[in-house]
Amino acid sequence: MKPVAIFRHSPSEGPGYLATYLDERSVPWTLLKIDEGSAVPEDPGSFSGLVFMGGPMSVNDDLPWIAPELELIRHAVRDGIPVLGHCLGAQLMSKALGGTVSRNPVKEIGWGAISVPPDPVARDWFGECSTFVSFHWHGETFTIPPGAQRIASSEHCVNQAFALGKHLGMQCHVEMTAELVRGWCKDWHKEVSSLAVHAASVQTPEEMQRDLDAHIRALNRVAASLYDRWIEGLV
């Protein structure tokens, strides 16, 4: 099998649990460290699937790798190579496929409930799961691109996930590990320094790390179910 290509845009935002999941199932993968200057491939045909991770930047920023990644996503979708996006990765997918990315009404940082609508497309991805608690860390949001369908929402961000055939974009971070959460909490003050008041959608590091192992175990189960569905489409 050709490897899954995982695109990392920030040193602190690697594949997390996804790497463990793929290793446990003997699915080969390779990490493209865009944050260290790795070139964006022009042709997705060398990979069985493409995964785009998060990052602190905006897809609307003038960065040299954004346009090539957008084109690579379009190319992969045209060729039927499955694409998976986490947070910034989902925003890249939305923009590549005709959606837009803009500021969310509030920053969403910490643990929060996700609701799954009772429709066939959502059930195809989430099974019988109608709600779960995911990790969030974002200030922007995407629109659902043409032809795709919203399959998850939260109180503070209506577009939490969309599906387009074998392609899945998620605003939330289902890939989290305890180590990633603890690491991100170190940057908490940078994220909230510009907030005029403490928003209900933003948890403190103490709140985010409370019962952390239990939260992670539950989230890993949801992520595994989603990844099970996604790898069915690997070419």
Q: Which residues are catalytic?
A: 87, 173, 175
| Gyration radius of the chain over CA positions | 16
CA–CA distance, 143 with 101 (Å, rounded to integer): 7
Backbone angles phi, psi at 62, to 5 degrees: -90, 75
Rounded Cα–Cα distance for residues 7 and 10 (Å): 9
List strand residue ranges (DSSP E) for the chain, in order: 4-8, 29-33, 49-52, 83-86, 101-115, 131-142, 149-154, 161-164, 167-170
CA 147 – CA 98 distance, rounded (Å): 10
Single-letter code of the amino acid located at 167: H
Residue type at position 135: F
Phi/psi for 68 (5° steps) reads -60, -35
Closest-CA residue to 214 (of 185, 176, 171): 176
Using an 8 Å Cβ cutoff, are 160 and 222 in contact?
no
3 state SS of 171:
coil
